[in-house]
Structure 1
Amino acid sequence: MKMSYFNWWSAGLCAGILTAVTVIVFIEDRVGWGVSSIILTLVMTISLVIFLVGKPFYRYRKPLGSPLTPMLQVFVAAISKRKLPYPSDPSLLHEVSEAKSNNGRLLSHTTHVKFLDKAAIIEDISPQALQKQSPWRLATLTKVEETKLIINMIPIWLSVLVFGICAAQASTFFIKQATVMDRHTAGKNSFTIPPASIYCLTAITLIMYVTVYDKLLVPFLRRNTQNQRGINILQRVGIGMFFAVITMIIAALVEKKRLHHLTEHNKPMMSVFWLAPQFIVLGVAEGFTLVGLQEYFYDQVPDSMRSLGIAFYLSVLGAGSFLNNLLITVVDSLADDFSGKRWFGKNLNSSRLDWFYWLLAGLTAANICVFMIVAKRFPYKSVQPSQVLADSSVSVG
């Protein structure tokens, strides 16, 4: 159930987005922004009531102090004991008993970032000395492994930022394209689709993807790979990045056709439904990568840092948007200096947005190669065998 949680959480979120870009946008265009604001206020009021009703039933994890302090202690202890030799057996590294682990899971030893193991080297094995030993001088093996988890996440985080740039196009340039295309459903006198409503294709695709993936694809893969998730988390993320490349290629081809269509005389504007393929494929890409990243960052962070894991995921989208703005500025400046033609003009008809999409496709393809190297070397969290059974039956909030 925990493995399916983020699939259905994302489906619920997309249901809200779907309602926003269809019903709410329609009311804003046809009735008024004031009416839509009243509706949104009522919706948030109902949401708050539901939240307050459910709050007493939420199971809180007891706070054990700052989750960042143990990481700092590991670094300080490792540096202070940097000249000590490594023990011949990892079992000689300091670890507390399960009874004293404060209901936290004890992690198994890994060979990555081996230098940090020195923080758990025992200098005096007497029980009295161990009890008096400062945590700034002696860390447990689990604390060392938790620090390694955070360090190992940094390359993964950096290697998925390009996907954040691709995802930013859906709410910016993709919508902007829709504003300059024919948005009538069946002729000039038919219903006109609001530009923002075209994003509903991504939301619908993601909801359909989640259903198929969770109910059909995962059980099938589980039988063939013997992996409870069907495929491991980073494989799922990588597949989504591949679909992001396809999205950018489709977007480039459609925009090139739109510009070519525009130069022909006596030709009406292209239908907005030409944008459907790029929105649909992007929905599949987000289903694989964004949902996979939510699960990855939540599952692989130390148990005491769940909120940090969600922050890692959200920062991919935030940092991706900032990098998108930076990339636009740099590319437009370089293009003007070298070729004398700007990629981003005063309007889309005087711009070369298709070139920008080709650039994103190339960057994402190159980034996939980097991601594959990083993901192949990434060690997943490994709980000590004696606690695997307990972990499978007790959820960690």
Structure 2
Amino acid sequence: IIVDHFHEQVLALNQIGGDARAMVVTSGIERAIQYFHAIGEYLVERKSPHRAIVAFSGEHEYGGAKVTEASLNGFPSNQIAEKIQADPCRFLICADKFQTGYDEPLLHTMYVDKVLSGIKAVQTLSRLNRAHPKKHDVFVLDFMNDSGGIQAAFADYYRTTVLAEETDPNKLHDLKAALDGHQVYGESQIDTLVALYLDGADRDRLDPILDACVAVYNEQLGEDAQVDFKGKAKTFLRAYGFLASILPYSNAEWEKLSIFLNFLVLKLPAPVEEDLSKGILEAIDMDSYRVEKRAAVKILLPDADAEIEPVPTTGGGRKLEPELDRLSNILKTFNDLFGNIPWSDADRVHTLITEDIPARVAADVAYQNARQHSDKQNARIEHDKALQRVMTAVLKDDTELFRQFMDNEGFRRWMGDMVFGLTYAPSTSGEAATNGRA
């Protein structure tokens, strides 16, 4: 499962520009060595160019012989962190090592075969949150822990949590049947749109199909039926997106319906009493569509103060975040200019505008080329195009921020100037311009 998932759902999707690494968290040294041999053998069997590294402390008896991580890996222990950054090493198999204080931006996926609780759970899973310009999500496949235990572990350290139930693959059959029953679309419409889209058709050839479905939705479904259809469509997209990132589904009908619904849902009008984003959803550039895998469980932690033990005074330090003063000034300006906007989650917006969005703009290839090979004026033109693409992608996560960017001229101008100021560095590579922030 681990090897196949990593190849088919991480590497095949070009995560972190094809440079993604995985950590396997095991319950002990014996188990780690077993994983090391099993993964290594299966990598050879599937003719993969990649290999695994094992990490544990001391000497251990295995198969009648004394072994160490160095003897198994074939290089000294102090080179593990360096070796995992370079091919062919892609899997880091750990037994109580590298689970705390390890900062590797290329780490994207974690496979957990160990009971985690308390601060250990927080420290272990947090190995994935090190930023990289090409890193837009992370993934955890946990074989041992339940969502309640993880929620309890994180509750002392975060303010909010949402906890979803387990995802049942069989529910996709029920959801598709319910959606089909509303007769908003026909199979021929799905087949036609998907074929046109995959062939690179322009928007003006896709919109008539979607508009016909929207007309049926508006004219033939009552309000309750509209709510039911739209809710089930979003549920189908979330469930299929998650399950497809774990299991190698071969159901072409589900895949086509997923593509179709990704476009259709954005065009379906909201109930009259809801806040409408008039003209925004219909104006989205279809070419910016991209599939991003999402976690099945979202954790909302209690919005309450918690008491934790003091940070230990022993051990190594850490580098302070660069540009901290600069980012603080950005947030101050943002609050001064736009603090009157009733953001539903101001902290999330702050993170998006100071971290996520600048990093994604800086990673845009066209903008990187302009920074390296053109003048500031042309770089700004490519920057603005990149920012538009990033903001369109942000729509799925934060409609509120997208609406302000599209409708509020002052906010859009400030956002453009701020992101350009953070990301523009003439005569440097794209990654160099973002290394300080990553």
> Could you say which TM-score interval applies, normalised by the shorter chain?
under 0.3
TM score, norm. by length of structure 2:
0.23
Q: For CA contacts below 8 A with separation 6 or more, give which structure has more relative contact order.
A: 1
Please give the TM-score of this superposition, normalised by the length of structure 1: 0.24
Richer in strand (by share): 2
